[in-house]
Amino acid sequence: MVLLLLLGACRVNYSFTGGDVGDARTMSVELIEARAPLATPLSAQVLTESVRDLLLAQTPLKLKQEEGDVQYSGALIGYDVQPVNIQANETAALNRLTMTVRITYVNTLEPKKNKEFTVARFADYDSGQDLTA
């Protein structure tokens, strides 16, 4: 649940040079790998689906299973939970989940636009909430 809140709060900023996708008509998004020690395969799968949904909503590109004109791949490289609101009894009322994702963007039609970037976002949640549920 917190993962969905985190992803909902995240805004992925990207640009195709002023919103122009050029001649690209299709995209593919590979499953984001869970490389962070605490990350679960489910968190990487939910993140992948969120990226696909975001791109479908914000671009005119059609989704292909593989080998799209533009291709996204990546890895969940950071998944960290820290207390943020310590109470008088020394327990945390809130925890902060921080996720860091490295994304590789490949434009098969315009290779000079290929790039790799890292995005980190966080969300606070009640410490009694189970992230694995």
CATH of the domain at 113: 3.40.50.10610
What 8-state DSSP symbol labels residue 36? Answer: S
Residue 129 tokens, joined: 């909430």
Number of domains in the chain: 1
Assigned domain for 16 exists: no
Assigned domain for 17 exists: no
Rounded Cα distance between 25 and 22, Å, is 8
Least confident of 19-33, 56-70, 95-109: 19-33
What 8-state DSSP symbol labels residue 33? Answer: E
Phi then psi dihedrals of residue 83, to 5 deg:
-70, 140
Question: pLDDT class for 40, splitting at 50, 70, 90?
Answer: confident
pTM of the model as a whole: 0.76
